[in-house]
Amino acid sequence: MYEQLKLDNQVCFRLYTASRLVTQAYRPLLEPLGLTYPQYIVLLALWEKDNQLVGELGQRLMLDTNTLTPILQRMERNGLIVRTRGIADGRQTLVSLTRDGVHLEERAKDIPACLTRTWQGEPMPNEQIAGFIGMLDSMINNLKK
Amino acid sequence: MYEQLKLDNQVCFRLYTASRLVTQAYRPLLEPLGLTYPQYIVLLALWEKDNQLVGELGQRLMLDTNTLTPILQRMERNGLIVRTRGIADGRQTLVSLTRDGVHLEERAKDIPACLTRTWQGEPMPNEQIAGFIGMLDSMINNLKK
DNA sequence: TAACAATATATCGTGTACGACATAATCCGT
DNA sequence: ACGGATTATGTCGTACACGATATATTGTTA
């Protein structure tokens, strides 16, 4: 068989697998908060800056509205956000945190450290982490449209 | 807000995004072959070693049967594989390539190089790629059950 | 200013992911 | 040899992803 088609030579397969396993690792931490991972990153974006348009959120999270809208609908149903139509421009939808959505930040604050411990095992040198992040950022940069 | 909750400080969000963008980059290359990315990695595994049990494939790809079975059913419907029940052990299902499934390898052989060019942009030093792969492998190792 | 292009968001259909549960075949101790 | 535990796979329900399309507003131009 072609050497380049072997699974062990595939960077992308590792990326795909690592991403899935990380999302699985989030599950037990997010479930008590009633969140999925995509819902969690929507909240991360909103905790940084409340009252964002669907399009702004989409740019920040690199998700299109066909993915984002259903997530936002569930989050609204669960009382974490509200969506307000047409303030200046009637086409836009503004996404805002409810009191519940705001309060969840406090309960989420230890999740990042916990997850880092899980995937890192033994703490790694910062330089190595920085190299990893740099590679991911460069990949994302090369792939985004 | 908590510094550790900022999106820019999240390794996992980058991983999730990079993985999604990579899968998107595969799409135009796989679509002419009538494949999705998960179907493609099933073929990678079968091109390496034909006639594998569902469980073996699952271990190799780190996917459980509840994900794998529907994928295999579609691939069987599309004539790429056949599933044979109960050879020695009546509980097992053996997955084998059809002639079409075998022939697809030829048409797929340039995909890895093409994708590497896409996400890498300027070719990177091998050492850097090796470090990246090492990090992903260590992550996968720490996260797998 | 009426028609038409452009924009922002939503809907729809297909294909994953994955926890929970179901089913069927084998194993194992008595 | 038989009944319960174990194992291999499949089914079901929910929630993403995402291409394609639809809908509703706003801009724009003749």
- Listed residue (A114, A48, A138) closest to B5, CA to CA: A48
Kindly determine whether residue A139 and residue B21, on different chains, have CB atoms separated by under 8 Å.
yes
User: Is the pLDDT assigned to residue A67 strictly greater than 90?
Assistant: yes
What's the pLDDT score for residue B101?
Answer: 98
- Listed residue (A93, A35, A41, A86) closest to A63, CA to CA: A41
Kindly determine whether residue B20 and residue A62, on different chains, have CB atoms separated by under 8 Å.
yes
Are the C-beta atoms of B68 and B82 separated by less than 8 Å?
no
Distance B116 CA to D13 C1' (A): 37
What's the pLDDT score for residue A87?
Answer: 79
Helices (H), B9-98: 11-30, 37-48, 54-61, 65-77
Are the C-beta atoms of B17 and B7 separated by less than 8 Å?
no
Chain A within 8 Å of B27 (Cβ-Cβ)? Answer: no
State how far the Cα of B96 lies from the Cα of B84, in Å rounded to an integer: 8
- What is the reported pTM? 0.95
What's the pLDDT score for residue B88?
Answer: 85
State how far the Cα of B67 lies from the Cα of A17, in Å rounded to an integer: 13
Contacts of A7 in chain B (CB under 8 A): 41, 44-45, 48, 60-61
What's the pLDDT score for residue B1?
Answer: 87
Chain A within 8 Å of B83 (Cβ-Cβ)? Answer: no
Nucleotides in chain D near protein beta carbons (<7 Å): 7-13, 15-21, 24-27
What pLDDT band is residue A49 in, cutting at 50, 70 and 90? very high
Comparing A58-67, A86-95, B76-85, the range with the smallest average pLDDT is A86-95
What's the pLDDT score for residue A56?
Answer: 97
Q: 3-class SS at B18?
A: helix
What pLDDT band is residue A6 in, cutting at 50, 70 and 90? very high
Chain B within 8 Å of A88 (Cβ-Cβ)? Answer: no
User: Is the pLDDT assigned to residue A8 strictly greater than 90?
Assistant: yes
Q: Pairing state of beta strands A81-85 and A93-97?
A: antiparallel
DSSP sequence for A11-42 = HHHHHHHHHHHHHHHHHHHHGGGT--HHHHHH
Angstrom distances, CA of residue A4 to CA of B23, B47, B67, B115, B137: 18, 12, 26, 11, 18
Contacts of B128 in chain A (CB under 8 A): 131, 135
Q: 3-class SS at A89?
A: coil
CA A39 to chain CA centroid, nearest Å? 7
Distance A93 CA to D30 C1' (A): 32
Are the C-beta atoms of B46 and B83 separated by less than 8 Å?
no
Chain A within 8 Å of B107 (Cβ-Cβ)? Answer: no
CA A144 to chain CA centroid, nearest Å? 16
